[in-house]
Amino acid sequence: MFRNAISTLLVILSSLAAPYVMAADSCKHIFDALTKVATTPSHSYTTSTAVNGGKASEAETIFANGQKYIRARGKWMRLPVTSQDVLEQEREKQEHGKSTCQFLRNESVNGEAAMLYSVHREYDEVKEDGQMWVSRGTGLLLRVEEDFDNGGNKVKEHRSTRFEYGNIRPPT
């Protein structure tokens, strides 16, 4: 009886402590998700709006077969950047920048269970503040809402990005 009570108490305490353990290492989930975007075939759709009320711009990016493609002026272009290059850039940001992440809550994105994080990143002359939704099942990024401030070239904008996975091929 006493042993069962102790076991039950340990289960309850560990479930109460789980959010604190997750919070302590919460940027790992974000870094892993950012890595997966570059290494998993993905198609992202981004709307950027200048903070000063400028016109919104649309962008699309595809990662497939280790290559990065963007859609510019209605035409697809393969960039001279590989998935490995993107991973290296991300590692540099992690190693030489500052990041703070906080798990906020569980939510659903298009019917998929997701973990919502607040994220603040600083690297070079860039500051990013936003929210990222990471799939609970796959660890892939599903959605990002962020304010981007590049002090070096005085660009401030809000970016809204959604990601799709599955049946992704290089554009033709």
The per-type count for the chain, helices as H runs and strands as E runs, is: 3, 9
**pLDDT value of residue 102:** 95
Residue percentage of the chain with pLDDT more than 70: 84
Contacts for 9-14: CB closer than 8 Å, 24+ residues apart = none
**pLDDT value of residue 25:** 57
Instruction: Look at residue 136 and tell me whether its pLDDT is greater than 60.
Output: yes
Cβ(51)–Cβ(154) below 8 Å: no
Around Cβ 55, how many Cβ atoms within 10 Å? 7
How far apart CA 69 and CA 43 sit, in angstroms, is: 9
Across residues 123-145, what is the average pLDDT?
Answer: 93
Enumerate the H helices of the chain as residue ranges.
2-24, 26-39, 83-96
Cβ(79)–Cβ(63) below 8 Å: no
**83 vs 162, more confident:** 162
Question: Cα(first)–Cα(last) distance of the chain, in Å?
Answer: 68
Q: Sign (positive/negative) of CA torsion 158, 164, 169, 171? A: negative
**pLDDT value of residue 125:** 82
Lowest mean pLDDT among 94-98, 105-109, 138-142, 161-165: 94-98
Give the model confidence (pLDDT) of 18-30 as tens digits.
Answer: 333 333 456 888 9
Across residues 117-135, what is the average pLDDT?
Answer: 91
pTM reported for the whole predicted model: 0.77
**pLDDT value of residue 104:** 95
Across residues 46-73, what is the average pLDDT?
Answer: 87
Cβ(142)–Cβ(134) below 8 Å: yes
Length of the chain: 172
Query: Considering only CA atoms, which of 172, 171, 161 is closest in space to residue 41?
Result: 171
Residue percentage of the chain with pLDDT more than 90: 43
Across residues 122-126, what is the average pLDDT?
Answer: 84
